[in-house]
Amino acid sequence: DVKVTQSSRYLVKRTGEKVFLECVQDMDHENMFWYRQDPGLGLRLIYFSYDVKMKEKGDIPEGYSVSREKKERFSLILESASTNQTSMYLCASSALNAEAFFGQGTRLTVV
């Protein structure tokens, strides 16, 4: 059974904290993605990675960075969390031109 696992389902952080969201996939996929989901805005791409140490900006990279040191792990970092980063974060992975598998999401609240 294919799996994309996100480290936390719910997270509450304070403004200004550095926040790490972790994602691990067990399918040996080349591509990994971080999306942010907000009501009425759909899934917006923050960053994606097509190989270890490689990353590309999506539509809303400001305030975020990513790290992919191993093929199976893709981390999203909020350098200094702000209240407007309160959202649902979804990680996904895929092979090239194939379906994407999503994790269960992390609901982040910044207070």
Partner 1 sequence: QQPVQSPQAVILREGEDAVINCSSSKALYSVHWYRQKHGEAPVFLMILLKGGEQKGHDKISASFNEKKQQSSLYLTASQLSYSGTYFCGTDLYNNNDMRFGAGTRLTVKP
**Are the beta carbons of 21 and 108 closer than 8 angstroms?**
yes
| Structure tokens given for 10 | 């719910």
Question: Closest approach of Cβ 21 to partner 1, in Å?
Answer: 15
Alpha-carbon gap, residue 72 to 36, rounded angstroms: 20
Please say which residue, 18 or 57, places its beta carbon nearer to partner 1: 57
Please say which residue, 14 or 62, places its beta carbon nearer to partner 1: 62
Q: Which residues bind partner 1 (CB under 8 A)?
A: 31, 33, 35, 40-45, 48, 50, 56, 58-59, 90, 94, 96-105
Question: Closest approach of Cβ 14 to partner 1, in Å?
Answer: 26
Using DSSP, state whether 37 is helix, strand or coil: strand
Please say which residue, 14 or 42, places its beta carbon nearer to partner 1: 42
Alpha-carbon gap, residue 92 to 74, rounded angstroms: 10
